[in-house]
A = this chain, B = another copy of it.
Amino acid sequence: MIHVAVLGYGTVGSGVVEVIENNNAEVSVKAGEEMHVKYILDLRDFPGDPYEDRVVHDFQIILEDAEVSVICEVMGGVGAAYQFTRQALEAGKSVCTSNKELVARHGAELLEIAKNKNCSYMFEASVGGGIPIIRPINKALTAEKLENISAILNGTTNFILTKMEKEGADYGETLKRAQELGYAERNPEADVEGYDACRKIAILSSLMVGKNVNAEKIYTEGITKITPADFAYAGAAGMTIKLLAFSRADENGRVTAMVAPAMISREHPLSVVNDVYNGVFVKGNMLGDVMFYGRGAGKLPTASAVVSDVIDCARHIGRSSIVCIWEREEAELTDISETERAFFIRAAADAREAVEAAFPEGRSLTVEGREKDFGFLTAVMKEKDFEERYSGLGDRVLNRIRIA
């Protein structure tokens, strides 16, 4: 019997209990032993809940129970969650988490403790919800030198952008609708400013290079400035707009990473990742391109990913199932301003001559019915050269978006 404790009985936590109970036959066969949720840690009580008898308020009960071998940390945050995770691992109990903030900040350290204590720290659910992405990178693409990752990692912003494109609605009203539907939080900053996607690409980048990629040093730009007009021009160019997280490793292990809205060709598989779905596009040196697609959030998909980690731990009791390399040493991040790409510009109609003079190698985009502004695609150039010329155009230029 594998005794599991769940820390936090919120959305994901109740999903974890539901997956272990509802799919108990499948889960137990895969784990090699029957699996059972022994404790649920929460500050609240849950009178009437079918599992109310398993709710405890004191983490020490779990820590001191030798029967508990696997702990699911689905409480979030980097305070108590960090302390409890450290204590559990130090006690040789494996921890499975969906807490991307904690993984991005302390992943390297927690992995080190787990390895030393012959247990595991697993975080499949921290990126891409239910989509298997961490495990494929660690266990399936093992023969590969990973070269780059491009991904849609945030369901909230992807939902907003999809609706804006399909309905021609503006950002503010679409955000409001997403909030009403429960797809965006009342304080949406972490999603719409790209911070959530940033933490996730930091995790994937760390696994790609085996060193710690500091999320706080990754250039991050949100979607709040995107307008229906931008989508109209993107459509005219055979593209759409997505909040993309990129990461590339050079041969010296230096990382170029960024989170920003980008125009992407309608031919690219990421362009059909719509609504709350996520997609992770990975390029390996032998394999070429692979993409993983699925629900990037939600109670049961995320819980399913947590439980897949629990099963992995259950199959490795007494030894670590960790195969990834993620050293504490910090990876070097390149200066974004030196990287090269093409840009889309939207500008007032009377700025046409100025834009064409600043970017003589670009080309204009027109959309029927739009006369007050126009679109423009530049040639490929360094970010810093673009910014210099673009800022010289003053407020006649209305927006600029990178081309993926």
Interface on A for B, CB 8 Å cutoff?
Answer: 15, 19-20, 22-23, 26-27, 29-31, 124, 130-132, 135-136, 139-145, 267, 269, 271-274, 284-295, 298, 300-301, 303-305, 307-308, 310-312, 315, 323, 325
Contact = CB atoms under 8 A, between A and B. Distances in A.
Given A288-B298, A288-B301, A291-B294, 6 more contacts: A22-B286, A26-B144, A142-B311, A269-B272, A287-B295, A287-B300
Contacts of A139: 135, 139, 308, 312
A303 B290 contact: no
Contact of A130 (B286, B303, B304): B286
Contacts of A298: 288
B290 A292 contact: yes
A287 B304 contact: yes
B304 A286 contact: yes
A143 B27 contact: yes
Contact of A292 (B26, B27, B291, B315): B291
Given A290-B294, A295-B287, A308 B140 contact: yes
B284 A273 contact: no
Contacts of A31: 142
A27 B301 contact: no
A211 to B, nearest CB: 13
Contacts of A289: 293-295
